[in-house]
Structure 1
Amino acid sequence: MRSTADRIRQAISFEIIGLLIVTPLFAWAFGHPLQDMGALALFGATAATIWNYVFNLVFDRTLLRRRGHTRKTPSLRVVHATVFEMTLLVFLLPLFAWWLDVTLAETLVMELSFALFYIAYAFVFTWGYDTLYPPETGTQATT
């Protein structure tokens, strides 16, 4: 299990790198001003950072309880990334539609395209993070 400090470092670095990639891409791809997309992306990243911490903590504790370890296979990493992004989409969809003054259907198309990006990004990022900063191998959860 990861320590609280490590989980915070992981979540914040994930969001900062993601923001640097997705903000200009989102503004360009969907024709919205960079400053509007930046504000929306910052809010989304803040919500995602908080959710990332909570989600990963619950996911790892569930793995530890069911399997006795927190190691993730490639297929489990796909499930992890997909469930994270889909739950985040449900939380943010109404707010993004309101902010951009577009329909929920239009927002859903935008969100799904970026959810697909973030699924791949989350898969690559967490695999790289786990490689650079391997989680503790003990079976006791740390705070």
Structure 2
Amino acid sequence: MPLNVGDTAPDFTVKDTNGNTVKLSDYAGQTVVMYFYPKDDTPGCTKEACSFRDNYEQYTSKGIPVFGVSMDDEASHQRFTEKFSLPFPLLADTDGAITKAYDVDGGGYSKRVTYVIGSDGKIAQVFTTIQTDTHATDILQAIGA
């Protein structure tokens, strides 16, 4: 069962696609979108990632960072990013710590769940029913961005 609206978003420190360290606490005061997905370069995950890619400017224009999270490693994330020109970082949760902290562990992979984390560090919205090809626009509409 994913975390609930109003829960404090668990902080984490992890490497992204390019080996940079990402800490959620570095984004305090901002709305953040974190989408968990099962595996790089699979049909549904590719549609979802491309949905965010195609709408990324709308997120950046509102100052909303987007992070994709899966248990794939940095090398897999790099290949996926290059193949589909993804402009946002993918977080390499190789030990499953973030996946477990956010209660989306599917037994060796991340379940498809998206969290909108408010500027107060609390979960503002949870998406568990996801239409992969329109997901990014669905979130923008839901958060009024």
So what's the TM-score if we normalise by structure 1?
A: 0.29
When normalised by structure 2's length, the TM-score is: 0.28
Which has the larger strand fraction? 2
- Structure of higher CA gyration radius: 1
Structure with the higher fraction of residues in helix conformation? 1
